[in-house]
Structure 1
Amino acid sequence: MKLFSLLVTLLLLAAGTATAATGAPHAHTRAGVVRGSSADGVDSFLGIPYAAPPTGDLRWRPPAPPVPWTGVRDATAYGNRCPAVASTNGPRSETEDCLYLNVQRPSGAKKLPVFVWIHGGGLRNGSSNQHDGSLLARRDVVVVTINYRLGVFGFLAHPGLTAEAGRSGNYGFLDQQAALRWVRDNIAAFGGDPHQVTLGGESAGGFSTCAHLASPASRGLFQQAIIQSGACPSTPLGTAEQSGTAVAQSLGCQDIACLRALPAARLVDVDAAPTLVSGVPELPRPPDSVVRAGEFTRVPLLIGANRDEGRTFALGFVGATREQYESWVLTNYSAAALARYPWPERSDRFTAAYLIGAIMTDSGTVGGIGGCATRSLVRSFTHYTPTYAYQLDHRTGPGLSPEPAGYVWGAGHAAELAYLWPSFDNGTPIAPTFDAAERQLSRDMVRYWTSFIRTGDPGWATYPGSTFSLRAGGTSVPIPDRQFSAEHQCGFWG
């Protein structure tokens, strides 16, 4: 056995030497050698498998180790996206062989801090392919972006699955943990320091990051965390199983064997709300409860949201009348809320959407994201660990959708991503549309984020006291908590 291992090692070294001779960057993972590409001082290794394809009998099971390969594996193109319907986050995919990650590093990296990024998309869609980490990598950080199972593939809970393995749901979350273990075991080969890992994510990636802070199985796999426009939601196992049973029945299945036999194309179209599940080994308790009790992994945190989170979710109200707006508020909130957000004397076709967007933002109605809900989350964390708070306040930048014409996106949900990831918006560069002040904001945000990743300090004071307001043209400043509270009417929302 020792002789066999030695021969494998020699073959890998020989392969790596041959790769090096071509001038392309290469690295030795535990599963085999990968060859990447270089451009503008950044080495990129794309589409590296961190787990076996979760197909066939591996569907709805924890991720298995990647299948080793011989020779040199090309790592110059992104891997498959995980199954999802077409959306603004990417095209339709029906390919379950999707557990890939990407590593980007400054050329010649040696023992640099690592940033592991979990993409958003409501646990329904999205991909690591959307996030080019070159801006961050150029500031001496090794960037890892990951795919994970989505929708019914990643978060189906069902009594049959629970009986089979003692858990169900959270398969996508278990994928994330497998990727973190891959980083621990392999990132040194790429010039990263496995003992200086920052975990971060936006939206559903932020939900996931909070869950990792609460998960006993994630402890020790990262040393800092960033939550962008996220919260700490979860669903109890019993409730999730009820939803999963309904999904199975809608597909004509009474057992797991039937579900596993279904083609991926049928499962992609299942209309179910994926959610993190608590009451299982990887999440014994709801993350929100763990955080508020101070029993999470206490690491330095960077947490924030965007000034107009709700505008992204209020697009459907463009063109709504005053009567429709007031009826919506009274149905979903109260007369007191309507008094706080009255219809103005002058209005246009966007007025209802802006007002509803403001209510959604300030109250944190959508997933606990933004405004007073984010402030409450920050306050919970800051009792126990150093926590830096921010808010994106640049409100005239490009949105993530051009429709409807004339709608001002503001600092809507996901608006901050374009400043950190130059190819965000489904792989289409947004950055070329930036004006000079926005390009400065991008440089500033990359500097703040990488400073936190490297040192645990983004460059402003910890909360409480103030939230750092990210503004264009080099004008970012801390804003007092009373100003933040007034902007979002936290005296009303709590």
Structure 2
Amino acid sequence: MKLVSLLVAFFLLATGTAAASESPHARTQSGVVRGSSANGVDNFLGIPYAAPPVGDLRWRAPAPPVSWSGVRDATEYGNRCPAQASTNGPRSETEDCLFLNVQRPTGAKKLPVYVWIHGGGLQNGSSNQHDGSLLASQDVVVVTINYRLGVFGFLAHPGLTAEAGQSGNYGFLDQQAALRWVRQNIAAFGGDPGQVTVGGESAGGFSTCAHLASPGSRGLFRQAIIQSGSCPSTPLPQAEQNGTTVASSLGCADVACLRALPAARLVDANATASLVSGTPALPQPPDAVIRSGAFPHVPLLIGANRDEGRTFAQGFVGSTREQYEAWVLANYDSSVLARYPWPARSDQFTAAYLIGAIMTDSGSVGGIGGCSERSLVQTFTRYTRTYSYEFDHRTGPGLSPTPAGYVWGAGHAAELAYLWPSFDNGTPIAPTFNAAERRLSRDMVRYWTSFIRWGNPGWPAFPGSTFSLRAGGASVPISDRQLSAEHQCEFWG
């Protein structure tokens, strides 16, 4: 009997399943992992998908993960990638951070897979902000990933280019490594490697567009979701110039000096992060690839939030009419003042709301939202089946922190809490939902998982209408004419 029991235990490990009374196990190519279960969902957290990018591996393409013997505990999230403290999480200086998480319904067998890329401007954020249990409960396998950020993930420099023929896209290469890990390992978790959807929000949306454009991502997914994203990039020569400036600010003239710096110095470097085009990873700018139609014509779900710009306009709370008008004239011209005039009755929030509307409608923040998002949807529609949405719940709880009395509206990232119950940006949101908002969450989970399973969220594809996501079961298609009027697209072009 003892021998039989041992054989049964070995079989369970080898097949990636476990008895209901035991912790779930799965066998990856690197070794066996043990997860945990709660409410019908198995959670495998903190699984390494690449070697720690430390020492000489700093600013190199991700290397394969190190194998282990025995059973690796996978019940806690892995380290966050290095980043400054922000509303997306605490400061981290730990470069050993290339981990992913798998969440599946208990008993999963050959289910479709959703790989989620977090936002944060390519500078902050992590996979542990996103609990995929709601999505997993609807018979999909959810994978959330960390990837290198900021200077660690997107520094371009002539010395680094000389080493490998490219530089600046290390975080993006991490994402591709995670997608390859999914293709090679997800069957052990009950996922179907032939039914992978890749998606992300904000910088995760930028990344998703880049995967559509990248030769190295071909064949790694069959459809995509872009939430509040666009297709920006920086040409390699400009990115190298930016990186040289960063290196000089750190007192370094070469790569050896940069690699010798402690992580804390690099975390504090004053640098922006961008995907870099003109490299093997992104031979052409993603936006040019999309406009030309030279990308895999997979089904797409893409959209944005009604008031994206309000998230970025909080700093203008308390600004006067004179300050508002000076800001407009410094960035636009008097025609914008005529379109967005100062009202007869105003308060301390007026300038922020007006500037937020301009940012939204024009898409001036990274091409996110409004008319820029509409134009991107129209471009995709010329080549592939595309479903458009607008998150339009404008009275829900905002992300934290916000100025007292500031109405978030349907601001940037406001939709995330409806899909990912642990998404917090500092303070949990989902527990504060009222009944209508809980209904919206259930509806959105159903729409998203329908798309992940069948490539159709349950409303008509564009052109013709965009699906307006509203609380209390009030979601409804709205015409393109209505969407255009909401964001003054005739004016913005």
TM-score, normalised to structure 1's length? 0.97
Q: Is the 8 A contact 2:397 2:408 kept in 1?
A: yes
Q: Is the 8 A contact 1:19 1:35 kept in 2?
A: no
Partner residue in 1 for 2:58: 59
For residues 8 and 172 of structure 2, what CA distance do their matches in structure 1 show? 36
1:279 is the counterpart of 2:278:
yes
Partner residue in 2 for 1:166: 165
Partner residue in 2 for 1:444: 443
Q: Once the 2 structures are TM-superposed, how far is the Cα of residue 20 of structure 1 from its aligned partner? A: 3.8
Q: Is the 8 A contact 1:12 1:32 kept in 2?
A: no
Partner residue in 1 for 2:253: 254
Q: Is the 8 A contact 1:400 1:425 kept in 2?
A: yes
Which consecutive unaligned segments of at least 5 residues does structure 2 have? 1-6
For residues 421 and 10 of structure 1, what CA distance do their matches in structure 2 show? 36
For residues 15 and 105 of structure 1, what CA distance do their matches in structure 2 show? 16
Instruction: Output the amino acid matched with 2:451.
Output: F
For residues 85 and 321 of structure 1, what CA distance do their matches in structure 2 show? 32
Q: Once the 2 structures are TM-superposed, how far is the Cα of residue 425 of structure 1 from its aligned partner? A: 1.1
CA 1:19 to 1:288, structure 2 compared with 1: closer, same or farther past 3 Å?
closer
Matching of residues 424-435 of structure 1 within 5 Å: 424-426=423-425, 428-435=427-434
Q: Once the 2 structures are TM-superposed, how far is the Cα of residue 14 of structure 1 from its aligned partner? A: 8.3
For residues 355 and 468 of structure 2, what CA distance do their matches in structure 1 show? 23
Q: Once the 2 structures are TM-superposed, how far is the Cα of residue 223 of structure 1 from its aligned partner? A: 0.2
List structure 1 segments (4+ residues) > 4 angstroms apart after TM superposition.
Answer: 9-19
Instruction: Output the amino acid matched with 1:75.
Output: A
Partner residue in 2 for 1:26: 25
Partner residue in 2 for 1:48: 47
3-state SS of 1:161 partner: helix
CA 1:15 to 1:454, structure 2 compared with 1: closer, same or farther past 3 Å?
closer
Instruction: Output the amino acid matched with 1:227.
Output: I
Instruction: Output the amino acid matched with 1:231.
Output: S
Instruction: Output the amino acid matched with 1:62.
Output: A
CA 1:218 to 1:285, structure 2 compared with 1: closer, same or farther past 3 Å?
same
Matching of residues 117-266 of structure 1 within 5 Å: 117-266=116-265
3-state SS of 1:103 partner: strand
CA 1:273 to 1:17, structure 2 compared with 1: closer, same or farther past 3 Å?
closer
Q: Is the 8 A contact 1:130 1:427 kept in 2?
A: no
1:181-225 C-alpha deviation (Å, 9 max, x unpaired): 000000000000000000000000000000000001100000000
Q: Is the 8 A contact 1:15 1:72 kept in 2?
A: no
For residues 16 and 316 of structure 2, what CA distance do their matches in structure 1 show? 59
CA 1:17 to 1:459, structure 2 compared with 1: closer, same or farther past 3 Å?
closer
For residues 291 and 42 of structure 2, what CA distance do their matches in structure 1 show? 41
CA 1:14 to 1:336, structure 2 compared with 1: closer, same or farther past 3 Å?
closer
Q: Once the 2 structures are TM-superposed, how far is the Cα of residue 463 of structure 1 from its aligned partner? A: 0.6
Q: Is the 8 A contact 1:468 1:477 kept in 2?
A: yes
Q: Once the 2 structures are TM-superposed, how far is the Cα of residue 16 of structure 1 from its aligned partner? A: 5.8
CA 1:474 to 1:14, structure 2 compared with 1: closer, same or farther past 3 Å?
closer
3-state SS of 1:186 partner: helix
Q: Is the 8 A contact 1:15 1:71 kept in 2?
A: no
Q: Once the 2 structures are TM-superposed, how far is the Cα of residue 163 of structure 1 from its aligned partner? A: 0.5
Q: Is the 8 A contact 2:299 2:384 kept in 1?
A: yes
Matching of residues 2-13 of structure 1 within 5 Å: none
3-state SS of 1:380 partner: helix
1:386-437 C-alpha deviation (Å, 9 max, x unpaired): 0000000000101111421100000000000000000001475311100000
For residues 403 and 15 of structure 2, what CA distance do their matches in structure 1 show? 54
Instruction: Output the amino acid matched with 1:107.
Output: T
For residues 437 and 419 of structure 1, what CA distance do their matches in structure 2 show? 12
1:16-61 C-alpha deviation (Å, 9 max, x unpaired): 6999466000000000000000000000000000000000000000
1:35 is the counterpart of 2:34:
yes
Q: Is the 8 A contact 2:399 2:425 kept in 1?
A: no
Q: Is the 8 A contact 2:99 2:145 kept in 1?
A: yes
CA 1:70 to 1:11, structure 2 compared with 1: closer, same or farther past 3 Å?
farther
Q: Is the 8 A contact 1:233 1:367 kept in 2?
A: yes
For residues 17 and 336 of structure 1, what CA distance do their matches in structure 2 show? 65
For residues 58 and 297 of structure 1, what CA distance do their matches in structure 2 show? 32
1:482 is the counterpart of 2:481:
yes
CA RMSD of aligned residues (A): 1.6
% identical equivalent positions: 82
For residues 429 and 326 of structure 1, what CA distance do their matches in structure 2 show? 36
How many matched pairs?
Answer: 486
For residues 207 and 150 of structure 2, what CA distance do their matches in structure 1 show? 14
Partner residue in 2 for 1:4: none
For residues 12 and 272 of structure 1, what CA distance do their matches in structure 2 show? 50
Instruction: Output the amino acid matched with 2:287.
Output: D
1:143-172 C-alpha deviation (Å, 9 max, x unpaired): 000000000000000000000110101000
Q: Is the 8 A contact 1:203 1:230 kept in 2?
A: yes
3-state SS of 2:296 partner: coil
Partner residue in 2 for 1:5: none
Q: Once the 2 structures are TM-superposed, how far is the Cα of residue 297 of structure 1 from its aligned partner? A: 1.5
3-state SS of 2:468 partner: strand
Q: Is the 8 A contact 2:306 2:390 kept in 1?
A: yes
Instruction: Output the amino acid matched with 2:393.
Output: H
Instruction: Output the amino acid matched with 1:327.
Output: A
Partner residue in 2 for 1:103: 102
CA 1:409 to 1:426, structure 2 compared with 1: closer, same or farther past 3 Å?
closer
1:467 is the counterpart of 2:490:
no
1:336 is the counterpart of 2:342:
no
Partner residue in 2 for 1:359: 358
For residues 429 and 404 of structure 1, what CA distance do their matches in structure 2 show? 17
Partner residue in 2 for 1:368: 367
Partner residue in 1 for 2:491: 492
Q: Is the 8 A contact 1:210 1:287 kept in 2?
A: yes
Instruction: Output the amino acid matched with 1:235.
Output: T
Q: Once the 2 structures are TM-superposed, how far is the Cα of residue 355 of structure 1 from its aligned partner? A: 0.2
TM-score, normalised to structure 2's length? 0.97
CA 1:18 to 1:363, structure 2 compared with 1: closer, same or farther past 3 Å?
closer
Q: Once the 2 structures are TM-superposed, how far is the Cα of residue 298 of structure 1 from its aligned partner? A: 1.1
Q: Once the 2 structures are TM-superposed, how far is the Cα of residue 12 of structure 1 from its aligned partner? A: 7.3
Q: Is the 8 A contact 2:16 2:26 kept in 1?
A: no
Q: Is the 8 A contact 1:78 1:129 kept in 2?
A: yes
Q: Once the 2 structures are TM-superposed, how far is the Cα of residue 330 of structure 1 from its aligned partner? A: 1.1
1:74-133 C-alpha deviation (Å, 9 max, x unpaired): 000000000000000000000000000000000000000000000000000000000000
Instruction: Output the amino acid matched with 1:130.
Output: Q
